[in-house]
Every structure is written in structure tokens, then in C-alpha cells.
Amino acid sequence: MKRLKRGRISIVTQSGSFAEMIVDELASEGIGVARIVSYGNRVDVGETDCLDFLVDDDATKVVVLYMESVDDGRRFVEVASRCTKRKPVVALKVGKREAGVHAARSHTGAISGRYEIYKAAFKKAGIIEVDGYEGLKDACKVLNSYDLVAGKKVLIVTDGGGVAVTMADACEDLGLDVTGLTEETRKRLSAKLPGYTATGNPIDLTSSVTDEDYVIALEEGLREEYDIIIVIVLWGPPEITERLVNKLKEIRDIYNKPILICSPGGKFTRRMAKHFEEKRGLPVFFTPESAARAAAVLAGGKM
Amino acid sequence: MKRLKRGRISIVTQSGSFAEMIVDELASEGIGVARIVSYGNRVDVGETDCLDFLVDDDATKVVVLYMESVDDGRRFVEVASRCTKRKPVVALKVGKREAGVHAARSHTGAISGRYEIYKAAFKKAGIIEVDGYEGLKDACKVLNSYDLVAGKKVLIVTDGGGVAVTMADACEDLGLDVTGLTEETRKRLSAKLPGYTATGNPIDLTSSVTDEDYVIALEEGLREEYDIIIVIVLWGPPEITERLVNKLKEIRDIYNKPILICSPGGKFTRRMAKHFEEKRGLPVFFTPESAARAAAVLAGGKM
């Protein structure tokens, strides 16, 4: 296993193998961890004790929970509510349905209880719930780079049409807001970009895209109030270059808005992702759905 | 881009960039393709013409469709119904909600129509619908190795508890059946495996697992009527070895049941995945959710 870096995320889990698995993934993705606790069968400490410690822990900027059950629901909600006022808390609750509930019972002896009750408790405590392991990974990745945002408006800029339609669907499925640009902005975009550019939201720069087109699209789009930017980069178009990585980082830093990169593809794509992530701190997601899940986490469950 | 292999899957897509993206991914995963058609704005041929050709195309064992809209719904259902009698047809329909519908319109001029109508048409034609790009990829991977199965009963065997609970949830979310083993089988398992083994479904061999424990669990489990087997392999436990790859292949071949491997983790895991996939033809999924999506495709929408 690759050595784990120090980072801002603390992970509290009821499953040892889950701890091992997520740590292995985060290490190989270069995502750092502050603390990790696997409290398993909760013999002496449980989820709420851990959370209570992490509220005031300066090393911990984000808390991620994997739960099969809760020991004392009232105390959990009280402590979690204090924690979420200070830092984001993300939770994956498993053992939702019949087979999962049984599996949790034979795993940690957990009485999972009705899932709907957890859902309500998370909401009350301001905890951001994710739906599965993929959601948890996406949350770790995005919260490794960015803080939560105030709203849920997403601007999508793309060089491929189909993937952008898929992305718009995925965002809306999660309750994100993919409202179009104003007529004024669209006119400005049309004046500066080729006539076949789609100036809605997604802004589709098409496969004739250049690095500079991304800059124009983002500068014009960011005149409006968006909370999260998803930039889709397919590396097929001949006129985009590696310099795009720096340009996107500059825009992110000037406008101070979280930019998530979505870049599905093969080996070249994975290599370019390293430039985005390791050199520029821009998180890359390899499917439209994972970028949308990450955006939903940043929007902090305001959906 | 890695050179694409010849294979059994044909892809028909309304988006050129989507075609490029999926082909790039499949090439880098070593999955072969029989035909690929990007019909874009449907100037002379459309989805139904392509499908009509593929019905009798011997090179094509599986058809995968990416659709924003349909040209002639009635003819599409008629041709697709003929096709699904001969080979699996998987479809991703995008442009489902407001932003996606708008994006599709500016992309290919497609009038997406109400999504619910597509859903009903797919069902009528026997098309297996997937929910997004991830589902489409999982479908390609699993149908590269396996044919559809008759039912939807899934047996899960694991060496990690948390991941198995997550898997059981993911399977049930998709309507798969994770029914437990009979008392008789559980007794036989208890007699042959350590006392702390969980003999439900999932069968949890825990981190004291050996290669041989997987064999025992599968041989006993397969005395009962399961359609799909998901084997979770976390590589942390000290007593499992690379020989497990061969043992699982043997079981798959003897019992003639599809075995999907779920192996989340980092670099070592990815290396072992190559042994499973390239040398033994056992598809590996890196998250519980993706293995569950693949299983749901194999069950062919019987949910």
C-alpha cells in the first residue's frame, strides 16, 4: 500500500475492512487523512465519542462517517449538530434494507433500525448524507480541495455534447440547480465564441474548442451567480493543450469558486488528471455521475 | 489512445464525443467492440436503422445504445423487440429533466420527449435500461464476459463485513434479490468454516479468510439456486494468495454461473484485477455499487 499523506479529512468507521479499503483508495489517489478510527463493535468508544473529540480537533477540517447503527441517537444528534456548525460532516449509513440489515447484524451485532429515522436525524444535525461507497469517495475527493458553498447552482462548461447532457441529468437527479444563463450573458458568449457554440447551461464549446474558449466561457459565465463550476474536458479535440490545466487553475483562484473537472476516458486522460490534481489541486472525476455527486456534497444537502 | 480490440459489443450513439469517450475507456480496459456507429444528427441513418442491421449481424452479441431522442417510436419498439429476442440490448436515455432536455436540444436538435414514455417503450421492447454513464460502462464490462441470466437471485461472498453490507444495500436498491441461504446450507457452512463466519447472504469469511474458504463458501452456496455470484475480495487478509484467482475461475467454469469480482482498493488491487480480467476472464468492479449495477444488467431488468 502507498503511504498515506497527512490531510484534512478524519474518518470514523464501524467497519475495519471499510477503513482499510477507503484508506487504501485515498492513499493511491493522493488524498490525505487527519485521523482514522475504526470503532467496530463499539466496546468502549463509539461514533459519538469520536465525533465529540473531532469537534475541537484542529487537524480535522472534515469528518466522514461510515455507520451501520447508532448507539444513542439523541446524544449523536446533539454532538453532530455541534460538529456541523464547525466543519462538514458526511455520513454513509448502510444496512438500509432487509439483506443489508441482516448483514449488519451478523457483522457488528448492529441493530440498524429504520433507515428513515437516520435520514431525518442526519438532516436535523446538518449532516450531509451520501448514498453509497461511491458517494463517500467522491465526498472525500471534493472536500480534500474545497469548502462547502452557499447555494446549489451549477454551471457546466464542456467540449462534448453527449457527456454534458448526461451531466445535466445527473445534477438534476441529485437536486442541483442547472439554471441557464441570462440572455445578456448568452449574447456576450455568442459574440466572443464561434457561432455553433451552445450558450445555454451547459455551455458547449464543441470539439473545435481551444484553451482560450474555456477561459471565455468561464469568465462570462462567472459574471452570474453560480456556486459550483463543473468543467468537462475530453481530450479528443485537437486544439486543446496541456496549458488548459494552468488556465483553469488561474480562473479558479481569481474567481474563488470551486471548479470540478470531469474527464472520462482512458490512459491519456488519467495522465492529464495527475496534472490537474497533483500540480494544481483541481479534483478530477472520471464519470459525469461522480462529478455530480461531488457537487451535491459541496452544496451540502441543500436539495 | 490504446488500440481497440475486436469484441462482442456494438455501440450505437447519438453523440460523437460520447462514442469517443466510451471507446477510449473500453480500449483501456481491454474490452472489445464489434461495431460502433455515431449517427449524430440522424441526417440519413438513425438508431432504428442501425438496430435493424445489428439484429442479424453475427459479429454483434450485445447492443449498447446512447440516445437523446428517437425518430419513429413505433418502428423503434418493433425493431428493438426483434433484436432483444436474439441478443441483449442496453440503453442509456439522456435528456431526462429540464436542463438535460435543453442541452440535448442544443446538442443534436433532439426533441427528447417525456422520459416516462421512453421508460415504458424500453420495457415493452425488452431493452435493459441503465441509469447513466457508469451504468453503461458496467453493462459493457459485464456483457463482455457473460450472457443474461434467468432470474435475479444474487449470492454475495466476502472477506470484509462493511463492504458486504454496502453491497447488499446496493443490490436491493436495484431490485435484486439477496435472499439468505437455507438452514441446511448454513449448517453445512458452519461445520466447514470457522465459528465466527457469518453464514447468511452475504457469507462473510472475515479477515481470517483463506483461499480455500472462498471455495467452500461457493461450493456450498451453489447447491442452492442463485443466478449471479458476487465475490468481494479485499486483499488485506494475510492468508489469501494470488492462487485465489485460479480457484474462482475453476468454480465459475464448473458451476457455469457468472461470478463478478468486487475489489475496491488501491494499486495492489488494480494489479490483481488484471489477473482476474486479462488472464481469467472474470470481470472486476471497483465499487460495491458498480458490481450491483452490473448484476442488475445481467438480471436483464427483471426487477
CA distance A158 to chain B (A): 11
Q: What integer pLDDT is reported at residue A103 of this predicted model?
A: 82
Please name every residue paired with B261 in a beta bridge, in sequence order, or none if there are none: B231, B284
**What number is the average pLDDT over the span B33-55?**
92
Residue A109 has pLDDT above 80, yes or no: no
**What number is the average pLDDT over the span B77-84?**
98
Q: How many angstroms separate the CA atoms of A151 and B15, rounded?
A: 31
**Chain segment A233-249, per-residue pLDDT in tens:** 999 999 999 999 999 99
Please judge whether B21 and A163 are an interchain contact, meaning their C-beta atoms are less than 8 angstroms apart: yes
Please judge whether A2 and B168 are an interchain contact, meaning their C-beta atoms are less than 8 angstroms apart: no
Nearest by CB to residue A104, choosing from B15, B165, B207, is: B165
The backbone region for A3, taken as left when phi is positive above 0, alpha when psi lies in -120 to 50, beta otherwise, is: beta
Looking at domain A6-145, its CATH class is alpha beta
Please judge whether B269 and A107 are an interchain contact, meaning their C-beta atoms are less than 8 angstroms apart: no
- A106 pLDDT band (50/70/90 cuts)? confident
Q: How many angstroms separate the CA atoms of A88 and A180, rounded?
A: 29
Q: What integer pLDDT is reported at residue B259 of this predicted model?
A: 98
Residue A208 has pLDDT above 90, yes or no: yes
**What are the helix (H) ranges across chain A?**
16-29, 47-55, 73-86, 98-108, 115-125, 133-145, 161-173, 183-192, 211-221, 243-255, 267-274, 280, 288-298
Lowest mean pLDDT among A85-94, A173-182, B12-21, B144-153: B12-21
Cα nearest neighbour of B264 on chain A:
A21
Please judge whether A160 and B21 are an interchain contact, meaning their C-beta atoms are less than 8 angstroms apart: yes
Distances in Å between the alpha carbon of A297 and those of A152, A154, B118? 10, 12, 30
Q: Which of B17, B93, B199 is best to mutate for the A interface (most A CBs within 10 A)? A: B17
Q: What is the CATH number of domain B154-298?
A: 3.40.50.261
Please judge whether A21 and B234 are an interchain contact, meaning their C-beta atoms are less than 8 angstroms apart: yes
Per-domain residue ranges of chain A? 6-145, 154-298
Q: Which residue has the higher pLDDT, A29 or A177?
A: A177
Q: Do domains A6-145 and A154-298 have the same CATH topology?
A: yes
Q: How many angstroms separate the CA atoms of A232 and A228, rounded?
A: 13
Nearest by CB to residue B132, choosing from A68, A133, A166, is: A166
**Chain segment B111-126, per-residue pLDDT in tens:** 667 888 999 999 999 9
Task: Tell me which residue of B5, B1, B82 sits closest to B278, measured CA to CA.
Answer: B5
Q: Could you say which DSSP state residue A132 is in? A: S
Please judge whether B198 and A103 are an interchain contact, meaning their C-beta atoms are less than 8 angstroms apart: yes
Q: What is the DSSP string of B65-81?
A: EEES--S-HHHHHHHHH
A chain contacts of residue B14, beta-carbon cutoff 8 Å: 162
Nearest by CB to residue B287, choosing from A92, A134, A168, is: A134
B chain contacts of residue A205, beta-carbon cutoff 8 Å: none
C-alpha cell at B143: 456483457
Q: What integer pLDDT is reported at residue A108 of this predicted model?
A: 75
Residue B66 has pLDDT above 90, yes or no: yes
Is the CB of residue B232 less than 8 Å from the CB of residue B163? yes
Is the CB of residue B87 less than 8 Å from the CB of residue B112? no
Residue B102 has pLDDT above 90, yes or no: no
B chain contacts of residue A64, beta-carbon cutoff 8 Å: none
Q: How many angstroms separate the CA atoms of A110 and B133, rounded?
A: 35
Q: What integer pLDDT is reported at residue B109 of this predicted model?
A: 73
Question: Cell 479468510 maps to which residue?
Answer: B209
Please name every residue paired with A230 in a beta bridge, in sequence order, or none if there are none: A156, A260
User: Count of A–B CB contacts within 8 Å?
Assistant: 246
Cα nearest neighbour of B92 on chain A:
A166
Is the CB of residue B42 less than 8 Å from the CB of residue B33? no
- B101 pLDDT band (50/70/90 cuts)? confident
Nearest by CB to residue A94, choosing from B24, B169, B207, is: B169
Cα nearest neighbour of B167 on chain A:
A100
Residue A225 CB neighbour total at 10 angstroms: 10
Please judge whether A96 and B24 are an interchain contact, meaning their C-beta atoms are less than 8 angstroms apart: no
Residue B301 has pLDDT above 90, yes or no: no
**Chain segment B217-253, per-residue pLDDT in tens:** 999 999 999 999 999 999 999 999 999 999 999 999 9
Is the CB of residue B251 less than 8 Å from the CB of residue B276? no
Please judge whether A15 and B161 are an interchain contact, meaning their C-beta atoms are less than 8 angstroms apart: yes
Please judge whether B204 and A24 are an interchain contact, meaning their C-beta atoms are less than 8 angstroms apart: no
Nearest by CB to residue A170, choosing from B132, B163, B236, is: B132
Question: Cell 418502428 maps to which residue?
Answer: B75
CA distance A165 to chain B (A): 5
Cα nearest neighbour of B267 on chain A:
A28
Q: How many angstroms separate the CA atoms of A224 and A154, rounded?
A: 11
B chain contacts of residue A94, beta-carbon cutoff 8 Å: 162, 165-166, 169
Nearest by CB to residue B165, choosing from A20, A107, A137, is: A107
Q: What integer pLDDT is reported at residue B40 of this predicted model?
A: 83
Q: What integer pLDDT is reported at residue B242 of this predicted model?
A: 93
CA distance A168 to chain B (A): 5
Q: What integer pLDDT is reported at residue A112 of this predicted model?
A: 63
Cα nearest neighbour of A208 on chain B:
B17
Q: Report the share of chain A in percent with pLDDT over 70.
A: 98
Task: Tell me which residue of A128, A177, A155 sits closest to A232, measured CA to CA.
Answer: A155
**Chain segment A130-185, per-residue pLDDT in tens:** 999 999 999 999 999 999 999 999 999 999 999 999 999 999 999 999 999 999 99
Q: What integer pLDDT is reported at residue A150 of this predicted model?
A: 95
